[in-house]
Structure 1
Amino acid sequence: MTAEDLEPHFARLGGDPVRDAFTARRAVMPWRTRRPLPAEEVEATWARLVRDHRPAGPDAPRLAYVHVPFCANHCLFCGFYRNAYTPQGASAYTDLLLAEIEREADAPAMQAQPVDAVYLGGGTPSALSADELSRLIATIRRTLPLALDCEITIEGRIIHFDAGKVDACLEAGANRISIGVQSFDTKVRRRQGRRAGKEEAIAFIEALRDRDRAAIVIDLLFGLPGQTEEVWREDLAIAAAIAPDGVDLYGLNLIPGTPLHRAASAGKFPDAPTLADLGGFYRMGADFLGRQGWEQISNSHWRRTPRERNIYNLRIKEGVDCLAYGSGGGGNLGRYSYAVAPDLQTYADGVRAGKKPIEGMRVSDSLQPLRNAITSGIENGRLHIGDIAALAPGEDVAGRLAPLLDQWRTAGLVELAGDVMTLTTAGRFWYSNLIFAFDAVLCPGAPAPAAGGPPFLQTPHKKRELS
């Protein structure tokens, strides 16, 4: 690429890099260059994969993702809400989910190698009853070939995640609990549809911590309506005082279709933070946790103790195999990524018919290992140019990247030492722009994603019961 070709990826010089290095953040979706598989080929392709697919190597890590698509209420900022929780619906769904997991458990692809991490996400997995959670985790442990030190994470919310449910998860084998706190400030929480106030949130996390039986991780979100710098400082201080094993810091993303996005579009969010504001919040959080001695292990994640490993979230960025279960879940086997039907009735009909209810599959090209290495390295904040060059034999990777890396170094986004690129705090905030630029430079001519994204992400929210 010429200097003129690289210029759109250059950062602004002379300003505050964490606040204004770029005018917008680039979206980098995992399916961005994967070709949709024709619908008529999906069933046969899946049958072949579960019979013949094997991991890339004898020590290749593997993951499993289990989706629980229910929430007690729809938080205004959330783009993952799909189904309102009811006891009857959750009970019927749990039975279907267990049937799906058990039916394919003995398939060669599922038993090929140990699973290093299992993630129960949603939705809100903790919306299930204590018995349902216990049965689900026990089935996973009984049927999947879990590694001896497998990380088993369950996402939860403060409301409805009572002591009985927590203990059921721990006794069944969960060893990592992730709680979406977002903010401790009562006004900010209530404004987003969160029912628990500050004191209740603090007491809940402290009770989890004091059990001392699992890694406890809390998510904090910056840029929420009413969340001033003062509120954000207090959120950080409270989180550090509680002393969980890990903490995630995420910037608010106004996802189209969410209640908060609609409110902002209607002018009901006058104090919406600018992109520069979000950069300032991120730096404030990174600096605070650094002073507290926390270790940053990804762009959004810090840990206080070695008990927090964050295996699933780190490995998924590497593009490793991921077995997926449950309505709305997504997985990956080799070159193929797949999505389980997000519509509850479609999912139920498929499981009852004895089929894997896959709604869409995509296949990657030969450059996917290179993209995975770039994404993983930038997510970790440290990328070896020599390592990615080895995935592009015959290409002058270092030479093509040199003008771009040098410009980013001057702009304050990266530091360079030999062939190692290390992200600064500003570089970590703008990580998606860096990935986007690497893609453009090293993977030119790659097939563009279909307009609107994959079909399984276009399904509207469903709020119906299973029949």
Structure 2
Amino acid sequence: MLNRQMSAADLAPHFARLGGDPIRDAFAARRAVLPWRNKRPLPDDELPATWSRLMSSYCSPEMRLAYIHVPFCANHCLFCGFYRNAYSRDTASSYADLIVEEIEREATASTVGSQLVEAVYLGGGTPSALSPTDLSRVLGMVKRCLPLAPDCEITLEGRIIHFDPDKIDACLEAGVNRISIGVQSFDTAVRQRQGRRASRDEAVRFLEAIRDRDRAALVIDLLYGLPGQTDGIWTEDLRIAADVAPDGVDLYGLNLIPGTPLHKAIGIGKFPAAATLKDIGGMYRAGVEFLAAKDWTQISNSHWARTPRERNIYNLRIKEGADCLAYGSGAGGLLGRYSYGIAAGLDSYRDAILAGRKPIDTIRVSDSLQPVRNVITAGLETGHLDFDRIALPHGGNLKTWIAPLLEQWRSAGLVSINGNVMSLSTAGRFWYGNLVSAFDAILSEAGPSARSNPPIGARANLET
């Protein structure tokens, strides 16, 4: 149990390298922050009863989120590890029917109506692949069946392909007030090599058309570290994005996922190697410095806002561990300690909906330390962790216990400490996942009393 200051030897596995450029050299690899970490899966035979109890007796303590998954894409972009189903008009329309039925059927559950929804996110896949009529139907059902807050943020992810003016206008008319477009790069050769069909000029014109409607926050996603994306091309990507003047921009480093077409193509020599981790760190720093010079506000490690219209509510609140209602094949949600996943296979999803069942595939239950993990994850995501907000279930002061680690990270150039607040440097933001992983590992040593899982099904535990 963490009842004393841990020694440097105890904490050494989480130390950063010293002496080099911290954004390039602090760690040998970047760690991912996985939403299901430290959660125990329930046996399959307990899923129906647990879900029924959640829908009938759980009330979120704060406003919650809603996520709708659309698992279709026009093509498999080479870098993407999330591709599942090829788009076809008939299949997508039938899927929209199922989404509408799922949302409508759940609307009368006491849990769904017990708390306002402050942000709705349509992700994928490519939600903008749906027809204007189907998008209007889905969004209309969301507005009719979910208790949306008056200023609810409604985000639609999209790509340039299939996203014509009629569809843009249909989304806006249906209530979308935030549109996130995955541009990745403006360089025509880099784009087309990764499976993006539109040229630089076509991409710019498309974004300007949404911007000039002036009816929703426009957010551009950029990816750095792609094969052939030199420092010069990355600088030009940033310049074009700033010139388009969206409300926000996301900068994501390439994660070369084994098994993706890009990983395979590089492996057989079809493409040049992707950027090294050192190069990716340098590109992140270039992006941070570029946007700071433009007076954009960094509101998370990967997200910047140019205007107050860009609130980024869903992405920030999901890192805080906010409750989230989920709909659609492959979607994931959270209610208290219970995270759940919906069947990713279209056939399994369809069969369950047509049979009148929620297509629950997994439910995982967190331990009593999950609120602590949520505070840490959310704080590090925004660059500032206030240790005064961390209340361990067995008492004690986390900052005191891990003081040698915090001092080592400070020496490595990853953080600064001011009283009980730890702030991340640009390098610390780049290595955010490694810092979260270190805290996770340390908390896992807190002892069985802190890690114990609640009895399944007791109403008191559904409400915590």
Q: TM-score, normalised by structure 1?
A: 0.93
Residue 361 of structure 1 aligns to a residue in which SS? strand
CA distance in 1, matches of 2:218, 2:300: 17
CA distance in 2, matches of 1:293, 1:139: 39
Match of 2:458 in 1: none
2:98 and 2:353 in contact (8 A); partners too: yes
Q: How does 1:31-430 map to 2 (within 5 A)?
A: 31-55=36-60, 57=61, 60-388=62-390, 390-430=391-431
CA deviations 1:402-460 (Å, max 9, x no partner) are 1111111111101110000010100000001101111122332689xxxxxxxxxxxxx
RMSD: 1.3
Match of 1:456 in 2: none
Residue 108 of structure 1 aligns to a residue in which SS? coil
2:103 counterpart letter in structure 1 = I
Give the number of equivalent residue pairs. Answer: 444
Match of 1:431 in 2: 432
Residue 440 of structure 1 aligns to a residue in which SS? helix
CA distance in 2, matches of 1:236, 1:70: 28
2:104 counterpart letter in structure 1 = E
How many Å apart are 1:268 and its aligned residue?
A: 3.3
CA distance in 1, matches of 2:232, 2:371: 43
Q: Is residue 441 of structure 2 the alignment partner of residue 440 of structure 1? A: yes
Unpaired segments ≥5 residues, structure 1: 448-467
1:34 counterpart letter in structure 2 = K
Change (3 A) 1:261 1:109: same
CA deviations 1:125-145 (Å, max 9, x no partner) are 000000001111111011100
Write out the 4+ residue segments of structure 1 that deviate beyond 6 Å after TM superposition: none
Match of 2:23 in 1: 18
How many Å apart are 1:320 and its aligned residue?
A: 1.1
How many Å apart are 1:28 and its aligned residue?
A: 2.5
Change (3 A) 1:446 1:296: farther
CA deviations 1:116-165 (Å, max 9, x no partner) are 00000000000000000111111101110000000000000001100000
1:43 counterpart letter in structure 2 = P
Q: Is residue 8 of structure 2 the alignment partner of residue 7 of structure 1? A: no
1:400 and 1:441 in contact (8 A); partners too: no
Change (3 A) 1:376 1:446: farther
1:432 counterpart letter in structure 2 = G
CA deviations 1:250-277 (Å, max 9, x no partner) are 0000112210111223343433211110
CA deviations 1:359-382 (Å, max 9, x no partner) are 111010101001111100000100
CA distance in 1, matches of 2:396, 2:271: 48
Match of 1:457 in 2: none
CA distance in 1, matches of 2:446, 2:364: 18
How many Å apart are 1:395 and its aligned residue?
A: 2.2
How many Å apart are 1:393 and its aligned residue?
A: 4.4
2:368 and 2:393 in contact (8 A); partners too: no
CA distance in 1, matches of 2:28, 2:85: 36
Residue 259 of structure 2 aligns to a residue in which SS? coil
CA distance in 2, matches of 1:138, 1:254: 38
CA deviations 1:321-358 (Å, max 9, x no partner) are 10000001000011101111010010000000000001
1:51 counterpart letter in structure 2 = S
CA distance in 2, matches of 1:397, 1:185: 46
Match of 1:458 in 2: none
1:113 counterpart letter in structure 2 = Q
Residue 309 of structure 1 aligns to a residue in which SS? coil
Residue 404 of structure 1 aligns to a residue in which SS? helix
1:15 and 1:21 in contact (8 A); partners too: yes
Residue 153 of structure 2 aligns to a residue in which SS? strand
1:33 and 1:446 in contact (8 A); partners too: no
Q: Identity of counterpart residues, as a percentage?
A: 67
CA distance in 2, matches of 1:123, 1:225: 22
